[in-house]
Copies of this chain bind each other. A is one copy, B any other.
Amino acid sequence: MNDYDDLEKNRANFVPLSPLSLISRTAALYPDRQAVVHGDRRYTWADVFSRCRQLSSGLKGLGIGRGDTVAVMAANTPEMIECHYGVAASGGVLNTINTRLDPDTIAYILQHGEARVLICDTAFSTSVEAALKSIGDSHGITVIDIADSENASGGTRLGKMDYEALLESGDPEAEWSLPGDEWDALALNYTSGTSGRPKGVVYHHRGSMLMTMGTIADWQMPRHLSYLYTVPLFHCNGWGHVFAVTALAGTLICNRAVTPKAIYDAIADHGVTHFGGAPIVLGMIINADDADRRPFDHTVEVMTAGAPPPAAILEGIESLGFNVTQVYGLTETYGHTVMSIWQGKWDDEDFATRAKLKARQGVPLTITEDAAVLDTETGKPVPRDGETIGEIALRGNTVMKGYLKNPEATEAAFKDGYFRSGDLAVMHPDGYIEVRDRLKDIIISGGENISSVEIENALHRHPAVAIAAVVARPDPRWGETPCAFVELKSGQDVTEEELITFSRQHLAGFKIPKKVVFGEIPKTATGKLQKFTLRERIKAGEV
């Protein structure tokens, strides 16, 4: 203790960090600026804030208070944006659910998360109705319908009342209160569950606020940007961009369906300057029908995640006026935590080199305290050689509180002061991380680690291959060898032998798949390949 320690926190000098502070400021400072656009609907920041206060107050009227879960099954509509503020301001925890999930998983999430209210867009009424039926009449969940009549496609009302009626029950001037503690839960986001039941990742107010400030700095977001919401808001709260766009008094362009036409229209009609999306979205833009393309004369910044953008995609998209920044992260890290930050000294490299550099996942964000690549056995950092594979381990204020009601998984995820990502990567000499594989997807053959992603990338270069998924297959001599499951492009054909020969041009001998199986590959609701089902087929002796 010293004299400095005598000076204590008080209400004037210590305020819980929370994204809730962002919208009240922006609404006060820019009440008349356009905040949200959805079809013909338009809201200013004053409108949005007023609606969020109504929502918060309406939810309190339904009995929602601190730590109560409010589940939301919605598309990227104004209601979904409002839920990101209104639920938190009521003290509740926002549990956005992937709209593509099956009724069984939805039922699991509603029960595990103990949702007390479910706000549901009628477009998803079929699966939600089935989910509620499977839970039974005693589910005790108050259902509120979003009837997005102008832009939604059918469905039926399941609830006690419509969302607009809930707003009307609330006070547009209701007090806007911050959480008592910045460590309080803000959101509950279930993992996509590539293996087994999804886990409930809990975010806190502090983390979301810091994620916001960090993203503004790292992505260099300008004031009054126009942001198209192509990333589903049910994914890591839309990577938190809703908060950053609010802080900068930008405009959020809503979007029910991500199509090339919708993207080009938003750019041309609403001056969209920023959006996010998986490389598949970039591919859609490149391959858009001529009739769907619209001219624009500014650069559009795209944050992409989920997989490194292939060189051909990068070349195609950048020539169209888009600048791509790749990020890496997980549900457990509020979305992006590592960014492929471009270094000016690379400007003069040839295209192939630049594409390779840009395809690396990158370096820690300003708010990410550390992104290390650790030897999975010793726990020490791997050498910075671009070759030695280790596990990405993360530390910082944008790492989740933990998994809800799952102390075993929480403990396993936090080890020696790091969150273990389960992703395998190398560290390049310049400190840039490049993901190689999921930990459980690595193949160990004759003592060598083989990245299934590397083999998949090689197979993807064959013109007939649409999707390739490589997993380990037990082998009496090598322990494991790579086994490739391949979906062909329609109308294309190739034999197992041809593909193996083709691989030989691109891969070291021990990495060449020993077996190739053709057919459709099962995927999760978010489009991730379900490699565990492929492993089960091998285990069952089918392959």
A-side residues, CB < 8 A to B, are 2-15, 17, 21-22, 25, 28-30, 66-68, 93, 114, 183-185, 188, 202, 207, 210, 213-214, 216-217, 220, 222-224, 247-248, 341, 343-344, 363-364, 366-367, 369, 394-397, 399-405, 407, 410, 414, 417-419, 431
In the complex where A12-B414, A220-B222, A369-B21 touch, is A66 in contact with B7 (Cβ < 8 A)?
Answer: no
- B213 with A7: CB separation less than 8 A: no
* Residue with the highest number of chain B CB atoms closer than 10 Å, among A399, A400, A403, A407: A399
- Closest residue of chain B to A65 (Cβ to Cβ) is B2
The 7 closest A-B pairs by CB, nearest first: A2-B67, A11-B417, A7-B402, A7-B401, A4-B185, A213-B213, A13-B399
- Complex: chain B residue closest to A221, CB-CB: B217
**A32, chain B: closest CB distance, angstroms:** 8
Q: Are A15 and B214 in contact (CB under 8 A)?
A: no
A213 to B367, CA, bound (A): 9
Chain B residues with CB below 8 A from A405, complex form? 3, 6
Q: Note all chain B residues with C-beta closer than 8 A to A248.
A: 217
In contact, B7 and A410 (Cβ under 8 angstroms): yes
Q: How many copies does the complex hold?
A: 2
Taking a contact as CB atoms under 8 Å apart, the answer to whether B431 and A29 are in contact is: yes
| Chain B residues with CB under 8 A of A6 | 402, 405, 407
- Besides A21-B369, A213-B216, 15 more A-B contacts (Cβ < 8 Å) are A2-B67, A3-B405, A4-B67, A4-B184, A4-B401, A7-B185, A7-B401, A7-B410, A12-B395, A12-B399, A13-B397, A15-B396, A17-B210, A28-B363, A213-B367
8 Å CB contact of A366 from B2, B25, B407: B25
A2-B66, A202-B7 in contact; A394/B12 too (CB < 8 A)? yes
Which residues of B are found within 8 Å of A216, using beta-carbon distances? 213, 216-217
B-chain residues with CB within 8 Å of residue A67 when the two chains form the complex:
2-5
A9 with B183: CB separation less than 8 A: yes
A442 to B403, CA, bound (A): 57
Q: Measured between C-beta atoms, what is the minimum distance from A436 to chain B in Å?
A: 21
By a CB distance below 8 angstroms, the chain B residues around A66 are: 2
Residues in B neighbouring A396, C-beta threshold 8 A: 13, 15
**Residue from B207, B247, B369, B417 in contact with A217 in the complex, judged by beta carbons closer than 8 Å:** B247
Chain B residue contacts of A29, Cβ below 8 A: 341, 363, 431
Q: In whole Å, how far is A68's beta carbon from the nearest beta carbon of chain B?
A: 8
Query: How far does the alpha carbon of A159 sit from the alpha carbon of B395 in the complex, in Å?
Result: 42
Q: Is the CB of A15 within 8 A of B395?
A: yes
Give, as a whole number of angstroms, the nearest-CB distance from A330 to chain B: 13
Chain B: which residue is nearest A218 at the CB level? B223
| A22 partner, pick from B17, B207, B366, beta carbons under 8 A | B366
What residues on B are CB-neighbors of A369 within 8 Å?
A: 15, 21
> In the complex, what distance in Å separates the CA atom of A13 from the CA atom of B413?
11
- Residue of B with least CB distance to A21: B369
List residues of chain B with CB within 8 A of the CB of A404. 3-4, 7
A399 smallest CB distance to B (angstroms): 4
**Residues of B contacting A9 in the complex (Cβ-Cβ under 8 angstroms):** 183
Contact of A419 with B13 in the complex, beta carbons under 8 Å: yes
Which residue from B202, B217, B343, B419 sits with its C-beta under 8 Å from A4? B202
Contact A343 B30 (CB under 8 A): yes
Enumerate 24 A-B pairs (CB-CB under 8 Å) in ascending A order: A3-B67, A4-B188, A4-B401, A4-B404, A5-B185, A6-B407, A7-B185, A7-B401, A7-B410, A10-B417, A11-B418, A12-B418, A13-B395, A13-B402, A13-B414, A14-B397, A15-B369, A17-B397, A29-B363, A30-B343, A213-B213, A213-B214, A216-B216, A247-B366
